[in-house]
């Protein structure tokens, strides 16, 4: 089945130690999104890629970066994780922008010690 | 800016009872509307969506929702819930049509009791 895969499902890192989360998709969608979801809150969009075009949300901290080396893969890099960055990170894809349904991966739960 | 309000943070209901989860959005411009379900420690799964056409939308797992433009609402309903429906439900909007950004409500936790 076509799907969105996130690895790892659970990630533990230390305060200030860089961490990379991975997302891959077999849907061949043009758009890939990264969301941050803190406990009991709605997902918050960090940024998205439309093909190779990177689009950052205005309130996304500089500590968060992303890479999309090809259509299938997208990475979320957290340069210096703080305790406040502990959250579920969700990757999603859509065929195009402008109202297309977004397909979500299972998420990576990040713990910062 | 577009916003979504889910007034009920938690809705307890007995198994086999009907349920309605409320959702209101802010804008009167043309919008796309979605309901997603999230089970513990999992991603979001699309239940149903309204893009255009019939205002009554049927989704998976027996859920349906009705788009009401005059009241800017998109309430989710199920005539008879199961224990397995216990989850977090998010209403979301894309608006105006053509925008890329999916705006989520704060979520409603549906708790189905035996």
Across the range A62-81, mean pLDDT stands at: 96
The residue ranking higher by pLDDT, A18 or A101, is A18
CB contact (8 A) between residue A104 and residue B106: no
Q: Report the alpha-carbon distance of residue B112 to residue B13 in Å, rounded.
A: 5
Reading the block at residue B4, the tokens are: 């979504």
Residue in B43, B97, B101 nearest the CB of A104: B43
Q: Which of A40, A43, A98 has the CB atom closest to B100's CB atom?
A: A98
pLDDT for residue A1: 67
In chain A, what residues touch B106 (CB-CB under 8 Å)?
41-42
* pLDDT for residue B28: 65
What the block records as the tokens of A70 is 């090809």
- Chain B touched by A42 (CB under 8 Å): yes
The answer for residues whose C-beta is within 8 angstroms of residue A10's C-beta and 6 or more apart is: A108, A109, A111
Residue B53 and residue B69 in contact, taking contact as beta carbons nearer than 8 Å: no
Rounded Cα distance, A104 and B114, in Å: 30
The pLDDT score that the predictor gives to residue A56 is 93
pLDDT tens across A30-59, in order?
999 999 999 888 999 999 999 999 999 999
Q: Is the pLDDT of residue A100 over 90?
A: no
Q: What does the pLDDT average to over A90-108?
A: 89
A7 CB within 8 Å of a chain B CB? no
Task: Give chain B's residues under pLDDT 70.
Answer: 28, 97
């Amino acid at each position: 089945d076509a799907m969105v895969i996130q690895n790892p499902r659970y990630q533990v890192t230390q305060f200030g130690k860089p961490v990379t989360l991975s997302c891959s998709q077999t849907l061949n969608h043009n758009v890939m999104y990264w969301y941050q979801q803190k406990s009991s809150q709605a997902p918050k969009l960090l940024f998205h890629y439309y093909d190779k075009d990177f689009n950052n949300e205005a309130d996304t901290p500089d500590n968060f970066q992303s890479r999309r080396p090809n259509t299938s893969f997208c990475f979320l890099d957290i340069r210096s994780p703080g305790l406040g960055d502990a959250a579920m990170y969700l990757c999603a894809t859509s065929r195009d922008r402008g109202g297309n349904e977004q397909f979500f991966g299972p998420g990576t739960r990040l713990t910062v010690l | 800016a577009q916003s979504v309000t889910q007034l009920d943070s938690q809705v307890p209901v007995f198994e086999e009872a009907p349920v309605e989860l409320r959702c209101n959005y802010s804008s009167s411009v043309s919008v796309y509307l979605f309901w997603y379900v999230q089970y513990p420690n999992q991603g979001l799964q699309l239940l149903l969506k309204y893009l255009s056409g019939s205002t009554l939308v049927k989704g998976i797992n027996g859920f349906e929702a009705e788009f009401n433009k005059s009241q800017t609402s998109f309430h989710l309903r199920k005539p008879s819930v199961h224990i397995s429906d216990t989850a977090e439900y998010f209403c979301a909007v894309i608006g105006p049509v053509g925008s890329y950004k999916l705006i989520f409500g704060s979520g409603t936790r549906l708790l189905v009791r035996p």
